[in-house]
């Protein structure tokens, strides 16, 4: 059903986040822990730093930003791109 291209992965992340928030009755702190646990079960996200990925997904949802999964900062041990905030 889903492939491993960035568009499908971003969609999956959105669904995982929504499900975590609903399971935790909209408690954001508990939802982040639940989301991190869900990420740990999905092997497609093993190369990502879960904390950074969760924050970026939250930013994309609340601020309307585009989720760029090719950003090296989202990888484990990755650095921010020059000029990024």
Under DSSP, is residue 48 helix (H, G, I), strand (E, B) or coil?
A: strand
Neighbouring-strand partners of residue 75: 48
Q: Tell me: the pLDDT tens digits for 21-77?
A: 999 999 999 999 999 999 999 999 999 999 999 999 999 888 888 888 988 899 998
* Per-residue model confidence (pLDDT) at position 81: 78
pTM of the shown model: 0.84
Cα–Cα distance, 57 to 40 (Å, whole number):
16
Listed by start position, the domains of the chain span: 6-69
Mean pLDDT of the 8-30 span: 93
């Amino acid at each position: 059903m889903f492939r491993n291209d960035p568009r499908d992965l971003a969609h999956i992340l959105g669904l995982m986040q929504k499900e975590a928030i609903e399971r935790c009755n909209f408690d954001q702190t508990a939802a982040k822990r639940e989301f991190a646990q869900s990420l740990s079960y999905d092997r497609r996200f093993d190369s990502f730093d879960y904390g950074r990925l969760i924050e970026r997904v939250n930013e994309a949802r609340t601020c309307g930003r585009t989720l760029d999964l090719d950003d090296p900062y989202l990888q484990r041990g990755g650095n921010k791109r020059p000029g990024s905030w």
